[in-house]
C-alpha cells in the first residue's frame, strides 16, 4: 500500500480521475441530449458549448432549452435554472463540513464544478485514507471536462445513441445514485435506511404538487430530520 500524504499525491489524483470516469454513462447521455436539443432550439455550436462550459448543469440546461422553445425569455430561464439547480446549493451546503481542511482559494473552483455525484463521492472518500483535496479537485474537474467534451461530441455526432435506446442509457443516472448511496448506508445502517426510505417516498409524493427539483430538497430535509431521531448502535 502506498502511504498517502496529507497534501495529496499523484495517487489521489489518479483515484479522483478514475472515479470521475465512472460517470461517463451519466454525463454522456445528458450532454448528447442537450446538444441535440440545442440544435433544434436554434442555438449555434458556440452558444451550445459555451452554455455547458459556463454553467455545467445538464438538467438545468435541458430544462432551459425547453423553456426557450416554449417562447420563454431571460426571466423564465433564470427561474428554471434557480429551481433545477437549487439542489446543487443543498449539495454545497452538505459538503461544506468536508471542505474545512482546504484553502479558501480553492473554494471557487470546487464550487464551480460541484455536481450531483460529489454528494456521494466526497463523504464516502473521507471514510478512506488519503488526501481529500487532490481527490476532490481531480474528480470534479474530470467530470466537468467530460461534460464539455461530450457536448462537443453531441454537436458533431448528432445522435450517437439510437433514439429508442436513449431510455436505456439514461438509466445510468439512477443507477449511479443508487451506487453512491451504498458507502453512506454502510456507515450508518439504521438511520441511513430510515433517511433513504423517508426521502424516497416524500420526494415522489411531493412531485404531484411541485417541481421535482424542489421536491428533492424538501424530501432530503424531511428524511434527514427524521434520521436525527434514530439512534445508531455505534453512536458516531
Partner 1 sequence: MSNVFAIIIGAAVLTFLIRYLPLSILHERRLPMLVEKFLSYTPLGVLAALATQSVFWKEGHFYSGLPNFYLLGAIVSVALGVATRKLGIVVIGGIGTVALATFIARLLV
24-83: contacts with partner 1 (CB under 8 A) = 25-26, 42-43, 47, 50-51, 54-57, 60-61, 64, 68, 73-74, 77-78, 81-82
Q: CA angle at residue 27 from 97 to 11, to 5 degrees?
A: 55
Strands (E), 64-144: none
Stretch that binds partner 1, among 8-16, 98-106, 127-135, 147-155 (CB under 8 A): 98-106
Looking at 22, 152, 153, 161, which residue binds partner 1 (CB under 8 A)? Answer: 22
Distance of alpha carbon 93 from its chain centroid, rounded? 14
| Residue 214 found at the interface with partner 1 (CB under 8 A) | no
Only one residue has cell 474545512, namely: 100
| Residue 129 found at the interface with partner 1 (CB under 8 A) | no
Q: How far is 116 from 91, CA to CA, in rounded Å?
A: 7
Looking at 182, 189, 190, 210, which residue binds partner 1 (CB under 8 A)? Answer: 182
Smallest separation (angstroms) from partner 1 to the CB of 102:
8
| Residue 141 found at the interface with partner 1 (CB under 8 A) | no
Total length of the chain: 236
Q: How far is 7 from 70, CA to CA, in rounded Å?
A: 50
| Residue 163 found at the interface with partner 1 (CB under 8 A) | no
> Which residues does 186 contact at the CB level (< 8 Å), separation at least 6?
192
Stretch that binds partner 1, among 3-11, 145-153, 154-162, 205-213 (CB under 8 A): 205-213
Beta carbon nearer to partner 1, 35 or 219: 219
Count, residues near partner 1 per rule CB under 8 A: 98
User: Could you tell me the CA-to-CA distances from 114 to 19, 100, 127, 143, 168 in Å, in that order?
Assistant: 15, 16, 20, 9, 26
| Residue 158 found at the interface with partner 1 (CB under 8 A) | no
Amino acid at each position: 500500500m502506498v502511504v498517502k500524504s496529507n497534501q495529496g499525491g499523484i495517487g489521489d489524483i489518479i483515484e479522483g480521475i478514475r472515479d470521475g470516469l465512472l460517470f461517463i454513462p451519466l454525463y454522456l447521455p445528458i450532454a448528447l441530449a442537450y446538444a441535440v436539443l440545442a440544435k433544434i432550439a436554434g442555438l449555434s455550436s458556440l452558444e451550445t458549448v459555451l452554455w455547458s462550459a459556463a454553467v455545467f448543469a445538464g438538467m438545468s440546461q435541458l430544462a432551459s432549452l425547453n423553456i426557450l422553445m416554449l417562447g420563454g425569455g431571460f426571466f423564465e430561464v433564470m427561474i428554471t435554472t434557480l429551481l433545477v439547480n437549487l439542489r446543487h446549493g443543498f449539495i454545497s451546503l452538505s459538503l461544506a463540513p468536508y471542505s474545512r481542511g482546504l484553502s479558501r482559494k480553492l473554494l471557487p473552483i470546487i464550487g464551480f464544478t460541484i455536481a450531483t455525484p460529489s454528494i456521494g463521492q466526497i463523504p464516502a472518500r473521507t471514510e478512506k485514507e488519503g488526501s481529500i483535496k487532490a481527490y476532490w479537485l481531480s474528480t470534479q474537474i474530470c467530470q466537468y471536462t467530460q461534460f464539455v467534451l461530450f457536448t462537443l461530441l453531441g454537436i458533431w455526432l448528432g445522435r450517437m445513441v439510437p433514439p429508442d435506446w436513449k431510455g436505456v442509457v439514461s438509466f445510468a443516472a439512477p443507477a449511479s445514485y443508487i451506487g453512491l448511496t451504498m458507502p453512506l448506508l454502510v456507515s450508518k445502517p439504521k438511520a441511513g435506511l430510515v433517511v433513504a426510505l423517508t426521502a424516497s417516498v416524500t420526494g415522489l409524493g411531493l412531485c404531484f404538487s411541485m417541481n421535482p427539483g424542489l421536491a428533492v430538497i424538501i424530501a432530503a430535509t424531511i428524511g434527514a430530520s427524521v434520521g436525527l431521531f434514530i439512534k445508531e448502535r455505534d453512536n458516531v
